[in-house]
Amino acid sequence: MPTILPLESQDFDRLFEIEQAAHSVPWSLGTLKNNQGERYHNLKLIEDDNIVGFAVCQTVLDEATLFNIAIDPQFQGRSFGYLLLHTLIEQLQQKGIATLWLEVRESNQKARRLYERLGFNEVDIRKNYYPTPDGKRENAVVMALYLAEPTFTS
């Protein structure tokens, strides 16, 4: 059974490995390190003493934004992404957060299905928002989950 704990500063080298393996256009190590601190609610998922996934989430007043979620590709498809995001949502609800926002590449069907399973709704499209590995641009889908009332089941 995996364990989910707050991210710590010594985790960042391992997070960067996962980031590079999981994303087509990964964050730099500097960007990963900059996205932590008081305003963040960041979590890691540990399986057999090894970090295999993480979530980076910023909170401002009663709103939160999921900036990043990634599972090591070798561990994808084992419900770890679902468990990590489900746990984050429960913890945000306990903190009194009203809405969780995120943006996802239009082509990222796997992530979009995960978000839909957890009750997120599509609220907007940002045209040509993300760079692609081949130098083009891709739309972002903006999604929101309203946390005031439970919208998903365990």
Ligand X SMILES: CC(C)(COP(=O)(O)OP(=O)(O)OC[C@H]1O[C@@H](n2cnc3c(N)ncnc32)[C@H](O)[C@@H]1OP(=O)(O)O)[C@@H](O)C(=O)NCCC(=O)NCCS
- Pattern of binders to ligand X over 23-62, x per CB under 6 A? x---------------------------------------
Which residue, 147, 31, 151, is CA-closest to 97? Answer: 147
Which residue, 31, 43, 104, 39, is CA-closest to 71? Answer: 43
**Catalytic residue flag (residue 115):** yes
Contacts of 100 (CB under 8 A, 6+ apart): 57, 63, 64, 65, 66, 89, 92, 120, 144, 145, 147
- Least distance from ligand X to the Cβ atom of residue 149, Å: 19
4 binds ligand X (CB under 6 A): no
Question: Which of 14, 35, 78, 119 forms a contact with ligand X (CB under 6 A)?
Answer: 78
The token pair at 2 is 């995996």
- Least distance from ligand X to the Cβ atom of residue 21, Å: 9
Give the footprint of ligand X on this chain (CB under 6 A): 22-23, 68-71, 76-82, 104, 108, 110-111, 113-114, 117
